[in-house]
Structure 1
Amino acid sequence: MKHSNWFNNMPYNKVKPSAVQLHNIGYNEFLHRIPRDSSIFNDIRTTLFILKATGLLPFYEEISSYEVGPPTKPNIFYSYFIRGVVQALTIFNLYNLVTSGSAQLFSSYSDTDNVNKWIEFLLCMLAHSTTVIICARNSKSFLKIINEILKVDEDVFDRFGTAFENRCGFSLKFIVGICICQWYLIILTVLEASDSLNMNSYIFIMFNAVQNGMAAIFIVFAAALLRIVKVRFAHLNSILSGYTYNQQRKQEHFAGRERFRNTMETFPEESLFTYRMHNKLLRIYRSINDCCSLILVAYMGYAFYTITTTTYKLFVQITTQSYPQISYNVLQTCFTWLAMHTCVLALLSRSCGQVTDEANWTSQVLARVYSKSKDHQNIVDKFLTKSVKQEVQFTAYGFFVIDNSTLFKIFSAVTTYLVILIQFKQLEDSKTVNNSM
C-alpha cells in the first residue's frame, strides 16, 4: 500500500507485530502470554451489576473477555419489570408531593425555602426518570460501546502483548460514598421532621434517596467509561511519542544511526495501526456522549439547583438563626448534599477533561514527529489535515462543553443565583415586618 493513499484504504484486519516490537519479547512467550486484567469488567463489575439490578442497563451476557452478548428474554422481562416499578413509584412520589400530606416533608423557615425544596424534589424525579428512559432507549448502544472497547483491547493485546490498567477503582469508592450519604440523609430527614411521619412520607423519603443515588451512580458509570477511553488514547499517544523529534534524537545519541533508521522504518506500519485505533476510540467517545447527553443535562441541572438551594439554606441557618435555634441536623444535611454533588460533578468534569485532552493530544504529538522522509511526512500531514476538521468536545446535549473548567463555572453561577435567593428572602422578611406593624 502506498503512503499517499494510506488513510482511504486502511485495512480492517489485525496488524501483525513487527520485529522491533518482538525484540524484547520472545516469540513463544508472546504467543502463550495470557491477557490478565484485560477486561474492563474487572474494574466496573460492581457498577454494572448495580445498574443492571436497578433496570438502568440490561443483564448483558459475558461471552468472553473481549465480547458481551445481548440479554436473554428472562433478563429483558426483568429489566422491563424493574423499570415499570420504578416509574410507578415516581408517579406515587409525585402524587404525594402535590397533595396536602407532603407538608410534613418541609421543615423550612419560610415560603421561599419550601418552594425551593418542592422544585428540588421535582428536578430529582426528572433527573432519575430521564436516566431510566434514556438508558432503556440506548440499551443496545451501551452494549455496542462495551464491545467496541473490548475489541480495541483485543487488537492492542494481539499487537503489543500488553493489557490495559483501567484505573477505575474510584467507581466503587464513589458508590460506597453515595450510599453512605443517602442513608445519612434519610436519618437526618426523619429526625428533622416536625410531625410524626406517615407511611406515604416514609416511602417518599426512601424512594427519593434511591432516585438521588441511582442518578449519581450512573454519572459515576459514565465517568468510568470515559476514564477507560482516556487510558486507551494515552496508550496510543505514548506509541506515537516515540517518533517525536526529541525522542528520536535520544535514540540516535544512545543507540547510533542504524538503530535510528530502523526505528523510523516502522513508522508507517505503527502509524497505520494507531490512527485506526484512534478513529475507533473517537467513535466510542462520541457514542458515549450521544448516549449520555440528555442524562447529563438533567442531572447537572438538578445538581446545580440543589447546590444553590443548599448553599442558600446553609447561609440562612448561619446568618439569621441565633445559637440556641441553630439546627445541627440542617447543617449536617447541607454539608452532606454539598459534598456528594460536588464530588460527583468534579469526577465528571475531570473525566471529560482528561479524555478530551488525550484525544486532542494526538495531533500535537504528530506535529513533533521527526522524519527526513517525505513519505513519512505526508502521512503526518494527512492525519493533521483530517484532525483539524474533527472537533473533539464532550458536551451536555450541545448546550455547553463539559471539561475541567465546568465545576468552576457551576460555582460561579451558584454565586449569582445565591444572591438572587437572598434578595427574595430579604423581600419576604420585609413584607412580614410590614404586615406585623
Structure 2
Amino acid sequence: MSPNTWVIEMPSQKSCSHPYPRRISPYRTPSLNRDAFTRDSPAAATSGPSTRSHNHPVFEDIRTILSVLKASGLMPIYEQVSNYEVGPPTKTNEFYSFFVRGVVHALTIFNVYSLFTPISAQLFYSYRETDNVNQWIELLLCILTYTLTVFVCARNTKSMLRIMNEILQLDEEVRKQFGANLNQNFGFSVKFLVGIAACQTYIIVLKIYAVDGVITPPSYILLAFYAVQNGLTATYIVFASALLRIVYIRFHFINQLLNGYTYGQQQKRKGGGGGGRRHRGNGQHHPTPNPAIMEHFPEDSLFIYRMHNKLLRIYKGINDCCNLILVSFLGYSFYTVTTNCYNLFVQITAKGMVSPNILQWCFAWLCLHVSLLALLSRSCGLTTREANATSQILSRVYASSREYQNIIDKFLTKSIKQEVQFTAYGFFAIDNSTLFKIFSAVTTYLVILIQFKQLEDSKVEDPEPDQT
C-alpha cells in the first residue's frame, strides 16, 4: 500500500455531527481505488463500538514492533485506558522494564571488559593493524549506540507516552469533526523486523564458522549480545520511522482538506467540475477532487490550524526523543558501511583467494544498514515535506472576501519563518538527501583507509636493509 493511503470510515447517523457530504472527504472516489479515500459499508458504520476501527487505534497497526520494544525495555509497557488514551505502566511492568535495562547495562560492562582482555583473542587477533582497528571501533560504536538508546528511552518514557496520547487525541478529534478514521497498513515494519532478525542470525553464523578452534563461552556471550544490540537498535529506528509515517499521514490529510479550497478547485466548482467523477469519451469514470464550499472555510480553517499546530508539536516531540539516538546510529551506520566497503575492496584486490565468508558478511551488513538509512531518510523527508506544504497550499486558497484573506494572512504570517526540519540533535537535517551525503562521506573516508592499507603493505614488501 502506498504511503499516502488512509481509510475513511463513516460514523453512524446519530454520531455524525456534520450533515454536509463534503465533510466526509475532500474526494469522492471508487472504493476500489487503494490510493484514495474509501468508505465503509452501512453495516460497518452502524455496528457500534465492536468494529475493528473502534477497538484498534493507530498503534495497533505497529503492535508487533511495539511488543519487541516493550519486551526489551526500550518502550514502557503502557496501559490501554480507552480507544484514544494510553496510561503509564503499572508498578509491576515498570519494575520489569527497569530490570531488563539493568541486565543490559551489566552485559555491556561485561562485553567492554572482555574486549580488553585475552578473552577476545578468538574474535580480534590484534588491534594494531588497520583492519582490526576498524573492527574494534565498529564494535565499540555498536555498544555505545545501544547503551545510549537504552538510556535515552528510559529518560523519555513520559515524553513518548505523551506523544502517543496526543496522536490518539488528535485522531479522536478528526473522527468527531469529519467522521474519519485514519489508518495505514504498516506492513513494512514487520518486513523490516524479519529482515533484521535474518541478517543478524546470518552474520553471527558466519562469524562462528570463521573462528578457528573451539569458541569459549565468553566469546559466545559477546557475539550473542552484539547481535541483540544491533537488532534492537535497528528495531528502534524502524519504530521511529513508523511514528514519522503516522505524522505524515495526518499532515497529508489536512493538506488535502485545505486543497479543496484552493483557487483551482474553486474554479472547477464554478465550472461544474465538482461532481466527484468526470465522464470521459472512453466511457470510464475518473476521480477528480471535490471542491469544498467556501462558506465553510472559516470553520474548517480553525480546525485545520489547530490540528497543524498539534502535529508540529508531535513532530518536534518525536525529534526531541530520538535526536541523540539518531546521531549515534548515523555515526555507527556510517562507520559500518565504510568498513564493509573497505573489506570488500581488500578482498577484491587481494592477490590470494577471495574469502566467501567475508564477502557474505560484508554484503549482509551493507544490506541491513543501507536499507535502514533509506527508510529513515524517506520517512523524515516525506513528513518534513508535508509539514512545510501546508503554508504553500494555503497561499493558493481562493480568498473571495476580506474575511477569508485575514484568516489566511494570520496563518501565513506565523508560518513564514517556521520551516520544519527533522534534525540529528541539530547537527544536520535528515531528509531524502541524507543517504547521498552519507555515501559521499563514506567515499572520502574509504580513500583514507585504502591509503593507510597501501602504506602498511608497502612497509611489509620493502623491509629496511640491514646496516653493516
TM-score by length of 2: 0.85
Distance 1:292 1:261, change over 3 A: closer
CA deviation profile, 1:175-210 (whole Å, cap 9, x unmatched): 110000000001000001123210000100000000
Deviations along 1:373-414, one digit per CA (max 9) or x if unpaired, are 111011111101111121300000000100000000000100
Question: Given that residues 70 and 143 in structure 1 are in contact (C-alpha distance below 8 angstroms), is that contact kept between their aligned partners in structure 2?
Answer: yes
Letter in structure 2 aligned against 1:280: K
Give the drift of 1:321. 3.8
Where do 1:292-307 residues align within 5 Å? 292-307=322-337
Amino acid paired to 1:78: Y
2:303 matched to 1:273? yes
1:136 Cα shift? 0.1
Q: 1 CA distance for matches of 2:115 and 2:67?
A: 31
Distance 2:42 2:122 in 1: 72
SS at match of 2:462: helix
Deviation of the 1:36 alpha carbon: 4.0
Cα distance between partner residues in 1 of 2:207 and 2:44: 60
Match of 1:350? 378
2:195 partner letter: G
Q: Give the whole-Å Cα distance in 2 for the aligned partners of 1:23 and 1:41.
A: 23
* 1:336 Cα deviation after fit: 0.2
2:420 is equivalent to residue 398 of structure 1: no
Contact 2:69 2:236 in 1 (8 A): yes
Give the aligned residue type for 1:308.
Answer: T
For 1:17 and 1:125, the matched residues in 2 are separated by 54
**Structure 2 equivalent of residue 247 of structure 1:** 265
Residue of 441, 444, 449 corresponding to 1:413: 441
1:429 partnered with 2:457 = yes
Structure 1 position 435, deviation (Å)? 2.5
1:379 match = 407
Q: Which residue of 1 aligns with 2:282?
A: none
Q: Is the 8 A contact 1:33 1:161 kept in 2?
A: no
Quote the offset at 1:27 in angstroms.
12
Q: Which residue of 2 aligns with 1:190?
A: 208
Pair 1:365-2:421 in alignment: no
Taking the aligned partners of 2:196 and 2:305, their CA distance within structure 1 comes to 39
Moved more, 427-436 or 280-289: 427-436
Shift of 1:31: 7.7
Instruction: Give 1:331-346 correspondences, 5 Å limit.
Output: 331-346=359-374
Equivalent position to 1:172, from 190, 195, 203: 190
Distance 1:369 1:108, change over 3 A: farther
What is the alpha-carbon distance in structure 2 between the residues aligned to residue 253 and residue 99 of structure 1? 80
**Counterpart-to-counterpart distance in 2, 1:436 and 1:328:** 35
The offset of 1:434, in angstroms, is 2.6
Please state how far the C-alpha of 1:320 moved relative to its aligned partner: 1.3
2:227 pairs, out of 209, 215, 223, with 209
- Residue among 341, 352, 355 paired with 1:327: 355
Q: 1:327/1:235 Cα in 2 relative to 1: closer, same or farther (>3 Å)?
A: same
How much does 1:165 deviate? 2.2
> Which residue number in structure 1 is paired with residue 417 of structure 2?
389
| CA–CA distance in structure 2, aligned partners of residues 207 and 374 of structure 1 | 65
| Structure-1 residue corresponding to 2:162 | 144
- Structure 1 position 19, deviation (Å): 3.4
Q: CA deviation at 1:39?
A: 1.3
Show CA shifts across 1:97-135 (max 9, x none): 111221211379981010000011100000000000000
Assess if the C-alpha contact under 8 Å between 2:79 and 2:89 holds in 1. Answer: yes
> What residue number does 1:224 align with?
242
Please tell me whether the aligned partners of residues 248 and 370 of structure 1 are also in contact (alpha carbons under 8 angstroms).
Answer: yes
The letter of the residue matching 2:63 is R
Structure 2 residue matching 1:254: 3-state secondary structure: coil
1:239-290 per-position Cα deviation (integer Å, ceiling 9, x unaligned): 000001111111111169xxx9981000000111011000000000000000
Rate the CA distance shift 1:125–1:170 in 2: closer, same or farther, 3 A.
same
Letter in 2 for 1:306: T
Q: CA RMSD in A?
A: 2.4
Question: How far did 1:330 drift?
Answer: 0.4
Unaligned runs of 5+ in 2: 1-15, 26-38, 275-289
Q: CA deviation at 1:16?
A: 5.0
User: Residue 100 of structure 1 is aligned with which of 104, 118, 126?
Assistant: 118
Asked if 1:17 corresponds to 2:18, the answer is: yes
Q: 2: CA distance between counterparts of 1:224 and 1:344?
A: 12
Q: Does 1:113 align with 2:113?
A: no
Relative to structure 1, the CA distance from residue 22 to residue 427 in structure 2 (aligned partners, 3 Å threshold; closer, same or farther) is closer
Count of matched residue positions in the alignment of Structure 1 and Structure 2: 419
- Structure 1 position 282 matched with structure 2 position 330: no
Instruction: Find the counterpart in structure 2 of residue 46 from structure 1.
Output: 64
- CA separation in 1, counterparts of 2:24 and 2:340? 60
One-letter identity of the residue aligned with 1:424? F
The 2-side partners of 1:170 and 1:254 are apart by 41
Residues 107 and 192 in structure 1, CA contact (< 8 A), matched pair in contact too? no
Question: Which residue in 1 is equivalent to 2:74?
Answer: 56
Check the 8 A contact 2:84/2:168 in 1, yes or no: yes
Task: Name the SS for the 1:414 alignment partner.
Answer: helix
Contact 1:107 1:194 in 2 (8 A): no
Q: Which AA in structure 2 matches 1:358?
A: E
Gaps of 5+ in 1: 1-14
Query: Cα distance, 1:232 vs. partner?
Result: 0.4
Shift of 1:295: 0.3
Whole-angstrom distance in 2 between the partners of 1:312 and 1:102: 23
- Supply the AA of the counterpart residue of 2:18: P
Query: TM-score normalised to the size of structure 1?
Result: 0.91
The change in CA–CA distance for 1:108 and 1:335 in structure 2 (over 3 A counts) is farther
Q: SS at 1:68's partner residue?
A: strand
Which deviates more, 157-166 or 219-228? 157-166
The Cα shift of 1:33 comes to: 5.9
Q: Are the structure 2 counterparts of residues 72 and 422 from structure 1 closer, same or farther at C-alpha, using a change threshold of 3 Å?
A: same
Q: CA deviation at 1:329?
A: 0.7
Hey, what's the Cα distance between the residues in 2 that align with 1:156 and 1:70? Answer: 24
Question: What is the rounded CA distance, in whole Å, between the counterparts of 2:191 and 2:341 in structure 1?
Answer: 25
Q: Match of 1:12?
A: none
Query: Is this contact kept in 2: 1:21–1:160, CA < 8 A?
Result: no
